[in-house]
Structure 1
Amino acid sequence: MTQSNKKQPPRKHRWLWRTIFTLGILLGLALIFNEPIKLFVVDHLSQWTMAQVDRDNVNKNEKRKATFDFKGVKALDINTVGNAALNRDLHPIGKVAIRSVGLKLPIFKGLSNENLSAGAGTMKADQKMGEGNYALAGHYMTNQGILFSPLKNVKQDDIIYITDMKKVYSYKVTSKQVVNETQVQWIDDVAGKKLITMVTCASPTEGEVDRIIIQGQLQSVKKATKQHLKVFL
């Protein structure tokens, strides 16, 4: 019986290459499924938070301190989303809906990355629904149904609804613009007008410098009855 002259690699080398190969497969799977998992968690977190919004919680949460540093907002990664989902330390102050494009989200006070993992964040410290220029920011995601992605499909005369669970405010869309990120004047109050302004990136590309600006004018204010709150369901 003859023996092959071929030398077999040492066992430890075979183990090393198998480990590297396995890790490569796992890394590849993580990269493939990272985005779908993130989108699933964000959507679930938004819906879960919407169900927690009631008048008592809103009253408490409106008194909380918040940060309004838009420059501190980062692109959503799986770690930020995961932390928000695990901690569930979210404090909504209302809801926003645009039924024509399927947007229904909780509103949070301030622009923390945790807030923007689940919904819309208020952009100014003292803004009030139905007064001045009520400004909201949100992330544009790759999925058209997640967070502020549906803003891309908003059209003139669409209706934006917001509520603090005491009243429901209806705004008619009057303008839709794509502007540079430096044009922050869009969120300023305008004398004699009651506005809402919604801001998101023009694309999901990290480092995007353009912003979609949706602006509407107040049309009506109604009591937050079960009937009037149906627009958020």
Structure 2
Amino acid sequence: MRTLKNKKSILGILFLLTGLVLVSIPLYVEWNQNKEVKAMEQALSLIAQSDGTEPVALEEIPNLTLTEEELMHVMELEIPFIDMKQHILEKTTDDNLNIALTQIKPEQVPGVGNFTVAGHRGYRDGRHFSNLARVPIGEKVYLHAGEDTYVYEIISSEVIEPTFVEVLDDTQGKNEITMITCTISGKKRVAVKGELVERTSRK
């Protein structure tokens, strides 16, 4: 009887330890990602403050994974309805998706054709595109690119198959934005599309 109780105790401890490991892995990954995000934000701040006459000392920033050239092309996406403001990196790679949103198609131009953006759901609520599916039709999305801001109005939100890449195509005569993320299960994709309604400039 005592041996059986000991085995149950050991199994209980093993289950507990396994649970702790499973919980801690995403937290550890997110902790590392947060360091990279902070490094990117620090680098962007230094570049913004620079007058261009001297090189920016980006090599002194720990955990920075992006080059100065990559940072020069960073944009920002703002969706007030879900209180989201995220940077957009120029290329979609696994590393880039871990720290920010990314452009899906190469050499995209804001306000021209179908500007496509990808993003993870994130481990926690509010990170990346975790709340993208909640954005209703009629809400505004703001794409900040340099001195210009492109305002889009949401016109559709749907769940699609991962193979339905046609959602990224340009529509003749329309300037749009298409934002893509995974469903909770990861088996399908959420595609939210907006149409350009305004462009403003701070120049």
1:31 CA drift (Å): 2.5
8 Å Cα contact 1:161-1:171 kept in structure 2? yes
8 Å Cα contact 1:140-1:149 kept in structure 2? yes
Q: 1:211 to 1:126 in 2, by over 3 A?
A: same
Which residue in 1 is equivalent to 2:9? none
User: Could you tell me the TM-score, scaled by structure 2's length?
Assistant: 0.74
Distance (Å, rounded) in 2 between the aligned partners of 1:36 and 1:132: 38
After superposition, the C-alpha distances for 1:178-232 in whole angstroms (9 at most, x for unaligned) are 01111111110000000000000011x4xx231000000001111146xxxxxxx
8 Å Cα contact 1:165-1:224 kept in structure 2? no
Please point out which of 123, 141, 150 is paired with 2:131: 150
1:213 paired with 2:191, answer yes
Distance (Å, rounded) in 1 between the aligned partners of 2:103 and 2:111: 14
Distance (Å, rounded) in 1 between the aligned partners of 2:141 and 2:101: 13
- Name the Cα RMSD after superposition: 2.8
Which residue in 2 is equivalent to 1:172? 153
1:104 CA drift (Å): 1.1
1:144 CA drift (Å): 2.0
After superposition, the C-alpha distances for 1:15-35 in whole angstroms (9 at most, x for unaligned) are xxxxxxx99987654332122
Q: 1:224 to 1:49 in 2, by over 3 A?
A: farther
1:39 paired with 2:16, answer no
8 Å Cα contact 1:50-1:105 kept in structure 2? no
Please point out which of 176, 180, 196 is paired with 1:199: 180
Q: 1:158 to 1:89 in 2, by over 3 A?
A: same
1:86 maps to amino acid: N
1:88 paired with 2:65, answer yes
Q: How does 1:1-233 map to 2 (within 5 A)?
A: 29-43=20-34, 45-46=36-37, 48-50=39-41, 52-53=43-44, 86-89=63-66, 91-92=70-71, 93-203=74-184, 205=185, 208-224=186-202
Which residue in 2 is equivalent to 1:70? none
**Overall identity of the aligned pairs, in %:** 24
Distance (Å, rounded) in 1 between the aligned partners of 2:38 and 2:197: 27
2:196 maps to amino acid: L
1:129 CA drift (Å): 0.3
Q: 1:220 to 1:214 in 2, by over 3 A?
A: same
Q: Which of structures 1 and 2 has the bigger CA Rg? A: 1
8 Å Cα contact 1:195-1:215 kept in structure 2? yes
After superposition, the C-alpha distances for 1:104-134 in whole angstroms (9 at most, x for unaligned) are 1111111111110111111111211010000
SS at the partner of 1:115? helix
